[in-house]
């Protein structure tokens, strides 16, 4: 049986250059402190976020813009950040 609800999109899966909104931060059980650390640097629900660049090879780390700040995140950290597309008609 398949779920009628798609799994949440994470920042790790986002396309470079597209702008999204942070939905929530969900840390893995093994590293629960990541949620607070990511929220402390600005990954809060409602903030705009975009992947600016990906490291080579393998796409790790990511250069991420959240609000007016830019950070480098590992793929594992970016996977904790659930995102949603901007509402239709929103200027990015």
Q: Where are the domains of the chain?
A: 9-84
Model confidence band, residue 69 (pLDDT cutoffs 50, 70, 90): very high
Is the pLDDT reported for residue 92 higher than 90? no
**CA 23 to the chain's CA centroid:** 9
Q: What is the pTM of this model?
A: 0.85
9-84: which CATH architecture? Roll (2.30)
Report pLDDT for 86. Answer: 85
Q: What phi and psi values does residue 79 have, to the nearest 5 degrees?
A: -65, -20
3-state helix, strand, coil in the chain (%, to 5): 15, 35, 50
CA distance to 2, 54, 66, 70, per residue, from 20 (Å): 26, 16, 10, 15
């Amino acid at each position: 049986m398949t779920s009628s609800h798609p799994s949440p999109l994470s920042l790790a899966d986002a396309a470079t250059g597209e702008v999204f909104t942070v939905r929530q931060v969900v840390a893995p059980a093994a590293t629960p402190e990541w949620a607070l650390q990511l929220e402390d640097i600005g990954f809060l629900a409602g903030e705009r976020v975009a992947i600016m660049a990906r490291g080579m090879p393998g796409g790790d780390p990511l250069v991420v813009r959240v609000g007016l700040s830019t950070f480098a995140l590992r793929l594992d950290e970016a996977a904790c950040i659930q995102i949603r597309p901007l509402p239709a008609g929103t200027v990015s």
